[in-house]
Amino acid sequence: MISESILAETAGFLSFTDLNRKEANTELEVETKSMLGQYMTSSDIASFMASLFPEPTKKTIKLLDPGAGVGSLTSAFLDRFCTKKNKFSIELTAYEIDSVMNKYLKTNLALFEKIASEMDFNFSWEIVDKDFVIEKSRKLDSLNSLFKEDVKTFTHCIMNPPYKKIKSSSRHRTFLRKVGIETVNLYSAFVALSLLLLEENGYLVAIIPRSFCNGPYYLPFRKFLLSKAAVKRIHLFDSRNKAFKEDKVLQENIIIGVEKGGIQKDVIVSTSTDDSFSDLFVYKYSFDKIVKKEDKYFFIHIPSSSCDFEDFPDKFNFSLSDIGLNISTGPVVDFRVKEHICDMPEKNCVPLIYPCHIKNGAICWPIKNGKKPNAIIFNSHTKKWLYPNGFYTVVRRFSSKEEKRRIVAGIIEPDLLGNAEKIGIENHLNFFHDNKKPLTQALSKGLCVYLNSTMVDEYFRRFSGHTQVNAADLKLMKYPSRENLVKLGKWASEINALSQEIIDKEVLKISK
Ligand SMILES: C[S@@+](CC[C@H](N)C(=O)[O-])C[C@H]1O[C@@H](n2cnc3c(N)ncnc32)[C@H](O)[C@@H]1O
pLDDT tens digits for range 84-140? 888 899 999 999 999 989 999 999 999 889 889 988 899 999 999 999 999 999 999
Query: Dihedral (C-alpha) 260, 266, 271, 277: value to the nearest 10 degrees?
Result: -70
40, 75, 164, 249: residue to mutate for ligand 1 pocket, most atoms within 8 A of CB: 40
Nearest of 395, 381, 385, 390 to residue 467 by alpha carbon? 395
Cα 341 from Cα 124, distance rounded (Å): 65
> What are the pocket residues of ligand 1 if the criterion is a CB atom closer than 6 Å to any ligand atom?
36-41, 67-69, 72-73, 95-98, 101, 131-133, 160-162
Q: What is the mean pLDDT of each run of 10 residues along the chain (512 residues)?
A: 39 69 76 74 93 94 97 94 88 96 92 89 96 97 90 97 93 96 96 98 96 88 97 83 55 91 94 80 86 88 61 82 91 93 93 93 90 95 95 89 81 90 96 96 97 88 65 84 96 91 93 86
Residues 6 or more apart whose CB falls under 8 angstroms from that of 447 comprise 325, 393, 409, 432, 439, 479, 485, 489
Q: How far is CA 45 from the centre of its chain?
A: 13
The per-residue b/e assignment along 140-173, b for 16 or more CB within 10 angstroms, e otherwise, is bbeeeeeeeeeeeebbbbbbbbbbeebeeeeebb
Predicted confidence (pLDDT) per residue in 221-259, tens digit: 999 999 999 999 999 886 555 555 555 555 678 999 999
pLDDT value at residue 404: 77
Under 8 Å between Cβ of 113 and 125: yes
Under 8 Å between Cβ of 69 and 221: no
Residues 6 or more apart whose CB falls under 8 angstroms from that of 335 comprise none
67 CA to middle of ligand 1, Å?
A: 3
Cα 371 from Cα 312, distance rounded (Å): 39
Under 8 Å between Cβ of 86 and 116: no
Of all protein residues, the one whose alpha carbon is nearest to atom 25 of ligand 1 is 98
Going by their DSSP bridges, the two strands 349-353 and 358-359 should be labelled as unpaired
Cα 196 from Cα 320, distance rounded (Å): 46
pLDDT value at residue 5: 43
37 CA to middle of ligand 1, Å?
A: 7
Please provide the average confidence, as pLDDT, over all residues in the chain. Answer: 88
Ligand 1: nearest atom to the Cα of 36: 15
Backbone φ and ψ of 119, nearest 5°: -100, 10
Domains of the chain: 4-206+213-231 (3.40.50.12420), 314-511 (3.90.220.10)
Going by their DSSP bridges, the two strands 409-412 and 358-359 should be labelled as unpaired
* AA identity, residue 364: C
